[in-house]
């Protein structure tokens, strides 16, 4: 290993040592050049499209094992063996320091798949093989990780939490960069506020309440004229957005279980009402329409309370 990488690993080691002094902050901070930094990647969240089968090279298999065994795994003995067999000797002490630390579920890179591998040279001329892996985290359905490997030994890994290092390495791949890959990942409290506002504003105020009013009186909820076809078109876009929030909430960790259960009911009722709109396009003054929003409002009120409790 050339001097530049050795220095990077020493810097990472110092950062890890500082973080590990507090038992409540055992997970190390993100660094610019250490594979263990991925354990601190932002949360993480759930249902991924099934990737087409891909025959992996030996190097790609090692990179994927890093995610499945070391990053996502809970077996400390398996991690220990992985370090011995697959990590560059100079980097092993860094991995050994955190091999007993399990990555929180909402920070794991779920459903990982190898997208591409290619040769990579750093500024000092060191040549390695870079492997691009994509998986899911609660805040990013297309979260990426780059693992650098030399002679089947992992040197380091980086993700978008370290924008400078990740961004430089990401340039060597042909795979298009996902739009959100370099974006700042919001905290769960921010995301939950966003989802709550989305349901109240987009789903209810600009969707169901106006549709319900139009069926009864031929006007919007405040008595205004209403282009019902445009309202339904906008609601379709809203429902597409809801799918992202479904995935996010499903991927939250167990401390949000109560909120997740309420969301499941609210989401299902939202889907049911939208299905009625699709099957029976709204008509003005339609006395036969059965568009009852009472249960939706019951679940919405419960969800608002759950969000308030979660973000305190």
The string of pLDDT tens digits covering residues 55-111 is: 899 999 999 999 999 999 999 899 999 999 999 998 888 788 778 778 877 778 899
**What per-residue confidence (pLDDT) applies to 19?**
40
Phi then psi for 114, rounded to 5 degrees? -80, 125
The string of pLDDT tens digits covering residues 184-235 is: 556 788 889 999 999 999 999 999 999 999 999 999 999 999 999 999 999 9
Mean pLDDT across the stretch 242-264? 89
pLDDT band for position 127 (cuts 50, 70, 90): confident
pTM, two decimals, is 0.46
**What per-residue confidence (pLDDT) applies to 47?**
53
Report residue 258 as tokens: 């109560």
**What per-residue confidence (pLDDT) applies to 305?**
96
Contact at 8 Å (CB) between 250 and 139?
no
Report residue 241 as tokens: 């957005």
Percent of the chain whose predicted confidence (pLDDT) is above 70: 78
Other CB atoms within 10 Å distance of the CB of residue 268: 12
Helices (H), 20-91: 58-65, 76-86
The more confidently predicted of residues 138 and 92 is: 92
Residue 281 pLDDT > 90: yes
Phi then psi for 123, rounded to 5 degrees? -60, -30
Contact at 8 Å (CB) between 125 and 131?
no
Helices (H), 150-288: 163-170, 188-198, 209-217, 228-250, 257-279
Other CB atoms within 10 Å distance of the CB of residue 161: 19
């Amino acid at each position: 290993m050339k001097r530049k990488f050795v220095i990077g690993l020493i810097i990472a080691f110092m950062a890890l040592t500082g973080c590990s002094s507090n038992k409540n902050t055992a997970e190390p901070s993100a660094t610019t050049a250490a594979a263990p930094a991925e354990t601190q990647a932002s949360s993480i969240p759930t249902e991924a499209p099934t990737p087409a089968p891909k025959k992996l090279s030996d190097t790609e298999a090692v990179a994927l094992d890093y995610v499945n065994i070391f990053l996502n795994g809970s077996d400390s003995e398996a991690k220990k063996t992985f370090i011995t067999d697959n990590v560059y000797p100079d980097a092993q002490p860094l991995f050994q320091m955190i091999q007993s630390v399990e990555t929180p579920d909402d920070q794991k890179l779920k459903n990982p798949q190898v997208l591409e591998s290619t040769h990579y040279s750093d500024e000092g001329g060191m040549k390695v093989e870079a492997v691009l892996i994509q998986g899911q985290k609660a805040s990013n359905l297309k979260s990426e990780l780059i693992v650098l490997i030399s002679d089947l030994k992992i040197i380091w890994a980086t993700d978008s939490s370290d924008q400078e290092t990740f961004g430089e390495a990401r340039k060597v791949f042909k795979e298009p960069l996902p739009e959100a890959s370099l974006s700042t990942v919001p905290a769960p409290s921010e995301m939950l506020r966003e989802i709550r506002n989305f349901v109240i504003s987009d789903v209810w105020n600009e969707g169901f309440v106006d549709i319900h009013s139009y069926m009864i009186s031929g006007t919007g909820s405040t008595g205004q004229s209403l282009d019902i076809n445009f309202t339904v078109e906008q609601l379709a876009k809203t429902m597409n957005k809801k799918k992202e929030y479904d995935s996010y909430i499903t991927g939250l960790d167990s401390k949000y279980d109560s909120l997740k259960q309420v969301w499941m009911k609210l989401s299902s009722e939202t889907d049911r009402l939208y299905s009625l709109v699709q099957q029976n396009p709204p008509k003005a003054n339609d006395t036969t329409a059965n568009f009852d929003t009472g249960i939706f409002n019951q679940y919405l009120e419960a969800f608002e309370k759950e969000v308030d409790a979660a973000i305190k």
